[in-house]
Amino acid sequence: MDYSFTAEQEDLRRTVRRFAENELAPLVRDAEETETFPRPLFRRFGALGLNGVRYPEADGGSGFDKVSDCIVREEMSRVCQSFASSWSAHSHLGIWPIWRAGTEGQKADFFRPALAGERIAGFALSEPDGGSDIRALRTKAEKVPGGWRLNGSKLYITNAPIADFLTLAARTHPDLTPAAISLFLVELPNPGIVVNRLKKEGIRASDTGLVHISDAFVPDACLLGGRTGTYPIILDSLSENRVGVAANALGMAQGALEAALEFARTRKVRGKTIGQYQAIAHKLADMAAEIEAARWLVYYGAWRVDQGTLDAATAAKVKLVASECAVRVSEAAIRIHGGAGIMSEYPVGRIHRDALVYVIGEGTSEIQRNLIARGLGL
């Protein structure tokens, strides 16, 4: 067994950390206060090859593996989860299905421009009444001459307010079976689609929307892969992305720990730094130990993706452990800061709000436990 990163992966970590600290960090406060994502960042991500970190060079990507993708996620989330969230929704959820199942025309029109950051993608799956139950989705696609007519709604869709297109799931048959759900590449603006921007407590600088769909026409050329029944692509995408968002959670936890350590080393009470008091030192020790345990589960999951052996239960374990770790660690960081922990000048309150998103988003912790239990034969 080898628990070391390659020299190339270590170089990637240093590069992304430098980029995050020098270029992303100065943008965080304004983006959070205005609750808007700095749109030019997508082209910057493209220029650095970050949009394509997960994809082969032959397809226009950077040719890295899933472990490397998780390194990028960890380092970006360590500085700002909002930026990492919008990037993830674009670079994985929005375009991974196109890379996996799209036609050559769809790759040319959507995938490759998205890699360059020239077109922004979103993934429209969740619905107001469906929650985590994908098979219960109600958005319908009716076949009409030359294409499809879509009706329904989507909720909590990352990037929707700024997206150039959505990879959107709709029911192409009334049966409650996997074959009845298909994916469409829906260009925006569309006369039949209205996107309402949502205000959030967490990941505030990641634009999120409610999507109303009323008789929206989508041409045949925009049915993913030119075929219906692409539900399995959704499941594969979500399983892999659960490992990805676990790396995001890991980065948030690491950022919270580093902020708490810095505060504990500088804040003095009765002539001593608070880190010299055992109550604080033990809390920091527990945080560090929990992060280390989560880190190696995350990268084990990433390794399983690269080996082609990731299963739903393992992905669920990775996401459950890392997301819950981020919530606990960021809360502990707030407690260590005391009153300063709820002041916006310090990052720990923001990190905690963002961490709470990931015990809900990408499948709640309860859904992860269901998947794990199913893997146990229960």
For residue 182, the one-letter residue type is S
Name residues whose C-beta falls within 8 Å of residue 372's C-beta, 6 or more positions apart in sequence.
313, 316, 317, 320
* Adjacent-strand bridge partners of 213: 152, 193
Residue 86 CA, distance from chain mean position: 7
Pairs from 198-201 (Cβ < 8 Å, separation ≥ 24): 198/156, 199/35, 200/35, 200/357, 201/353, 201/356
- The total number of residues written for the chain in this structure: 378
**Best CA proximity match to 88, nearest among 101, 67, 73:** 73
Report the alpha-carbon distance of residue 13 to residue 77 in Å, rounded: 12
Of 149, 159, 148, which Cα lies nearest the Cα of 123? Answer: 159
Which of 8, 324, 362, 366 is catalytic? The answer is 362
Cα–Cα distance measured from residue 108 to residue 82, given in angstroms and rounded to the nearest whole number: 28
Q: Are strands 165-171 and 121-124 parallel, antiparallel or unpaired?
A: parallel
Read off the DSSP letter of residue 175: S
> In whole angstroms, what is the distance from residue 339 CA to residue 267 CA?
12
- 262 assigned to active site: no
Rounded CA-CA distance 250/321 in Å is 10
d(CA 64, CA 86) in angstroms, rounded, equals: 20
How far is the C-alpha of 248 from the C-alpha of 243, rounded, in Å? 9
Range 39-76 burial, b when 16+ CB lie within 10 A, else e: eebbeebbebbbbbbbbeeeebbbebbbbbbbbbbbbb
Considering only CA atoms, which of 249, 217, 181, 206 is closest in space to residue 24?
206
Q: Which residues are catalytic?
A: 362
